[in-house]
Amino acid sequence: MPIIRNGRIQEDVWVSLTDREAETLGRDTPVLVSLEEWKAGRETLIANFDRRAIRLENADDVEDIREDLADLDAVILVFPKFNDGRAFSQARLLRDRFGFKGEIRATGHVIQDQFLFLQRCGVDAVEVMDEKLLDAWQRANRRFKGYYQPALDVVEGTGRDTAETVSSGHGAAYARVEPAVLASWAY
Amino acid sequence: MYTYNEFDHAFVRDRTAEFRDQVARRIAGELTEDEFKPLRLMNGLYLQLHAYMLRVAIPYGTLSARQMRQLGYIARRWDRNWGHFTTRQNIQYNWTKLDDVPDILDALADVEMHAIQTSGNCIRNVTADQFAGVAADEIEDSRVWAEIMRQWSTLHPEFTFLPRKFKIAITGSENDRAAVKLHDIGLRMRRNDAGEVGFEVIVGGGQGRTPIVGETIREFLPKQHLLSYLEAILRTYNLLGRRDNLYKARIKILVAAVGIEKFAEMVEEEWHEIKDSALTLDAAKIAEIERHFAPPVYQEIAEPVAPYDAARFTDPAFAAWTRTNLFPHKQPGYTIVTVSLKPAGGVPGDATAEQMEALADLAEKYSLGELRIAHEQNVVLPYVRKQDLHTLWQALGEHGLADANIGLITDIISCPGLDYCNLANARAIPIAQRLSRHFSDPALQSEIGPITLNISGCINACGHHHVGNIGILGVDKKGVEHYQITIGGIADENAAIGKILGPSFPAESVVDAIDTLIGTFRKIRTEGETFIDTVTRVGITPFKETLYANH
Amino acid sequence: MKVTTRVMTANRLGDGAVVYLAEEDDWVLVLDDAEVADGDEAAAALEARAAASAARQEVVSTYLFAVSVTETGIAPVSQREIIRAAGPTVGTDLPATTPLV
């Protein structure tokens, strides 16, 4: 399914290791593993592949990868159902507390009415059913002129990114809004 | 009271526009009902037994006369001429149309109101003591903090898809009038040994199918850390609260599962990480909100107020009303009036459009243009001069609003029950009506004395039956409405869950059953004892024995 | 005696009104005008038609409920459906003395 990131539609580059034997893949293959696989094969994965992503289920504790974030290019969070909101806290911790600069992607059952919340929790990519949702993703952060609580605020991608630069991550596009408690006072 | 600034205005308008767009997408089929449901719920829109029901927030129960008038206008224009005030300081319109709701939200925005987060698995309308800012017994005005929490919780990006709904209540007094121990988070303002004001933080309380009295996880939280502490609790809950079972998803179940000490430890650990973040409230920010709740300019009025005392002397019906419906005010010469929405045979909490407009007019004339909604489903006029009371009481009488029964047996809390609600198992309103008619004699009510009688039409307990001195719960027994009776429940600072007396009764026996309980109480009470005092002293057995001996 | 006769109900999407499925996929406001399904097969047919209507964004919250058919008309079996069909038994717009059934 298409991915929205950096203000445009992209292909999903990550190759799930569970689908293939690791030996058949070149070191330039962007690989995707589960938390279990990461824990079991961390050293080998770092040695054999240049780009690595991890998929976290929503019961997984993000603390488990806190020390490993420098070795990861992307964290993929899962919504089994759109109203299961654990990934919002996972994203917030990864981006805000752990300072993760890579891609944080939301996958699974995500609806467009959640785009703003995702962005404000530090999610910078989303897997969508329909490319038309790009517009909704870009508009999400423009509906309101400000917010009532401090969170992460997205600076929209330029859309100029090429596939080559994708792996560098775009976490820096997210600025911590501070101080923004009771943003209404700023007006 | 709080007045919106430009930002608030724009925000609520933008939110309404968003909902208008969501409604259009739903009607066009771009959103399925499954996807639309949580979105409409987050704007207070339910699909009830007969129609769409819109629940509008009355944050911390405070309303201006203009807002009350607008609530009446909405009832006239888009509903069937009345509204229902709920146990969580909301008003519900029972007959709204989906197509009209965006317009209703716009009409609310015109007067700085909204329906944001009055339902859904998010942080709900924050409730507070209805006497905040005026009660003689309070430490500080809790509305300042309720407003800060209202703002912080509005469209919180992280806590909008929680495992289950989340209710916060705050009281600024030692005497808890906001049932804070029965909320997911309860806050009680208190003074520490150094004389500073902060919060006692209580978590894991709640009613519903598993009633639990909340426990304190922090004895004293300095004011400036309120939001970071709340965020620590919410984050812990969001990540660890159960999502596999609707009935086990509230924070009280998580707290019970891990234990209060362990839960407190987890919260403190999380709090430690964010304690000194952007969430810290500096003195200037607090002062900015406090400014909105600055006391009005009071007149200097010498007590006693002679015309008031004279009217009490010459008009016994007025005197009776002043004995039940007034509460001591901070300011000499002023009083707090509770206007009863519990006429004998009426629907608890219902007010017609005409009554809402009349209340708005009277608030303008006699209460500095301000009103409150109590969780007991009554209306409060918080700034009444004692010399105006007699005239006010007469005017209230013209609109059927002068019942002298606050805190008495006919001041019944009742949910809408099976007459309106999709979840109910039995009707609640007809039971309330029969009881209030049965006990309508003022002398009898006065003789029985202070008591709370609460009725819920199902185990979700919107009618607070678990914490009524007498609680009545509607159940479905083989397709027939039955009612289970509990006694000993308390909603205040001594919160307790009532005990079930025995098998349930069919509808036609409920009045008799309650009459038997009251008869037993009158027989065994000692001089000056209230119903709950007697239950506390003797336990439930004497009540149980007479109740089931007669039935 | 097991009740085998059932009626399909829903709320109209736009105004929320309680409606019942009648012939020719018409949704009607009056229970007596509803189509009654006798037996599981007929009930399944109503369910399929209701689902199709819901998919066309006409109604929401579709479900079947038991009724008894008498000479005077169609009567719901459960208290809930009796109230849903007839409206609240009490209320601010109704006489306060409406008897409890």
Contacts across the A-B interface (CB distance below 8 Å): 119
pLDDT reported for residue A141:
84
Cβ separation B121–A83 shorter than 8 A: yes
C16 pLDDT higher than 80 = yes
**N- to C-terminal Cα separation, chain A:** 41
> Which is more confidently placed, B550 or A117?
A117
Q: Which pLDDT belongs to residue A159?
A: 33
pLDDT in tens, C44-55: 999 999 999 999
Residue B550 has pLDDT above 80, yes or no: no
Residues 6+ apart with CB under 8 A from B129: B135, B138, B142, B170, B171, B172, B173, B176, B177, B178
Q: CA A33, CA A20: separation in Å to the nearest integer?
A: 11
Q: Which letter, b or e, does each residue of A111-148 get, where b requires 16 or more Cβ atoms within 10 Å of its Cβ?
A: bbbbbbbbbbbbbbbbbbeeeebbebbbebbeebebbb
How far does CA C59 lie from the centroid of its chain?
13
Distance to chain B for C78, nearest Cα, Å: 6
- For residue B418, give how far its alpha carbon lies from the nearest alpha carbon of chain C (Å): 7
Burial classification of residue B463, based on how many CB atoms lie within 10 Å of its CB (0-12 exposed, 13-18 middle, 19 or more buried): buried
Name the one residue in this structure whose structure tokens are 């660890």: B240
- Does any CB of chain A come closer than 8 Å to the CB of residue B148? yes
Q: How far is C-alpha B532 from the geometric centre of its chain's CA atoms?
A: 21
Nearest alpha-carbon partner for B197 in B168, B169, B228, B225: B225
**Which pLDDT score, from 0 to 100, does residue A145 have?**
84
What are the chain C neighbours of B28 within 8 Å (beta carbons)?
57
Say whether the peptide bond before residue A150 is cis (omega within 30 degrees of 0): no
Which residue on chain C is closest to B420 by alpha carbon? C88
Q: Does residue B101 have a pLDDT over 90?
A: yes
Mean pLDDT of the residues in chain A: 82
CB within 8 A of C28, min separation 6: which ones?
C19, C20, C21, C22, C34
Q: Between A88, A143, A146, which is nearest B161 by CB? A: A88
Amino acid identity, position A103: E
Mutate to test the interface with C, among B37, B48, B52 (most CBs of C within 10 A): B52
Q: Which tokens hold the place of A94?
A: 């990864």
The DSSP line for A106-150 is: EEES--GGGHHHHHHTT--EEE-S-TTHHHHHHHGGGSSS--SS-
B50 touches chain C (CB under 8 A): yes
- Between CA B276 and CA B279, with CA B277 as vertex, the angle to 5 degrees is 105
Q: Which of residues 260-289 of B touch A (CB under 8 A)?
A: 273, 277-281, 285, 288-289
Question: Would you list the DSSP string of C74-87?
Answer: EEESSHHHHHHHH-
Question: Which residue in the block uniquely carries the two structure tokens 């009524």?
Answer: B468
Chains B and A touch (3+ CB pairs under 8 A): yes
Chains that touch C (3 or more CB pairs under 8 A): B
What is chain B's Cα-based Rg? 23
Contact A182 B17 (CB under 8 A): no
Among partner residues B18, B156, B158, which is closest to A143 by beta-carbon distance? B18
Handedness of CA B404, B410, B416, B420 (dihedral sign): negative
Closest-CA distance, B347 to chain C, in angstroms, reads 6
pLDDT beyond 70 at C92: no
Contact status, residue B75 vs residue B344, Cβ threshold 8 Å: no
Chains that touch B (3 or more CB pairs under 8 A): A, C
**Residue C93, pLDDT score:** 53
Q: Which residues of B touch A179 (CB under 8 A)?
A: 278
Cβ–Cβ under 8 Å, residues B292 and B376:
no
Query: What is the rounded distance in angstroms from the CA atom of residue B178 to the CA atom of residue B227?
Result: 20
For residue C59, the cross-strand partners are C12
What residues have CB less than 8 Å from B87, skipping those under 6 apart?
A: B375, B376, B377, B413, B415, B462, B463, B464
Q: Are B360 and B65 in contact (CB under 8 A)?
A: yes
Average pLDDT over residues A111-119: 93
Quick one: pLDDT at residue C99?
Answer: 40
Q: How far apart are the C-alpha atoms of B457 and B443, rounded to whole Å?
A: 29
Element (H, E) at B231: helix B226-240
Cis upstream peptide for A179 (omega within 30°) = yes
Which residue from B131, B111, B117 is spatially nearest to B3, judged by alpha carbons? B111
Q: Do B347 and C91 touch (CB under 8 A)?
A: yes
pLDDT band at A164 (very low <50, low <70, confident <90, very high): very low
What average pLDDT score do residues A115-124 get?
94
Q: Which of B539, B485, B540, B491 is nearest to B515 (CA)?
A: B485
Single pTM value for the model: 0.93
Judging contacts by C-beta atoms under 8 Å, the chain A residues touching residue B17 are: 143
Neighbours of B3 (CB within 10 A): 9
Residue C97 in this model has a pLDDT that exceeds 50: no
Q: Is B42 left (phi over 0), alpha (psi -120 to 50) or beta?
A: alpha
The residues pairing with A104 across neighbouring beta strands, listed in sequence order, are: A75
CB contact under 8 A, B419 and C18: no
List own/partner pairs for A20-25 with CB under 8 A and 24 or more apart.
Answer: A22/A48, A25/A49
Average pLDDT for A100-104: 94
In degrees and rounded to multiples of 5, residue B74 shows phi and psi of -60, -40
From A59's Cα to the closest Cα of chain B, the distance in A is: 8
Q: What is the amino acid identity at position B209?
A: R
The single-letter code of the amino acid at A59 is A
Chain B: give the shortest CA distance to residue A25, in Å. 36
Q: Please answer whether residues B67 and B111 qualify as being in contact, where contact means their C-beta atoms are separated by less than 8 angstroms.
A: yes
**b/e per residue B421-442 (b: at least 16 CB within 10 A):** beebbbbbbbbbbbbbbbbbeb
Mean pLDDT for the stretch of residues B225-251: 97
Q: Which residue of C has its CA nearest to B33?
A: C60
What SS3 state is found at B81?
coil
Complex ipTM tops 0.90: yes
Residues in C whose CB is inside 8 Å of some CB of B read 11, 13-18, 54, 56-57, 60-61, 77-80, 83-84, 87-93, 96-98, 100
What is the C-alpha separation between B137 and B188, in angstroms, rounded? 13
Whole-number Å distance between alpha carbons of C76 and C84 = 9
Burial of B197 (0-12, 13-18, 19+ CB in 10 A): middle
Residues of A with a Cβ under 8 Å from any B Cβ are 82-86, 88-90, 92, 97, 111, 113-114, 116-121, 143-151, 176-187
How many CB atoms neighbour CB B136 within 10 A? 14
Interval A56-63 mean pLDDT: 96
Query: Which residues lie across from C20 on neighbouring strands?
Result: C9, C28
Closest C-alpha to A30, from A50, A9, A54: A50
C97 vs B253, residue with greater confidence: B253
**Closest to A51 (Cα-Cα) out of A167, A184, A176:** A167
Q: Rounded CA gap, B340 and A53, in Å?
A: 62
**B93 three-state secondary structure:** strand
Mutate to test the interface with B, among C90, C94, C98 (most CBs of B within 10 A): C90
- The number of C-beta contacts closer than 8 angstroms across B and C is 89
| Nearest CA-CA partner of A148 in C20, B12, B260 | B12
Read off the pLDDT band of C9 (50, 70, 90): very high
pLDDT tens digits along B38-85: 899 999 999 999 999 999 999 999 999 999 999 999 999 999 999 999
Distance CA B163, CA C33 (A): 42
Q: How confident is the model at residue A155 (pLDDT cuts 50, 70, 90)?
A: low
- Cα dist. A8→A75, A115, B8, B183, B196 in Å? 19, 14, 32, 44, 53
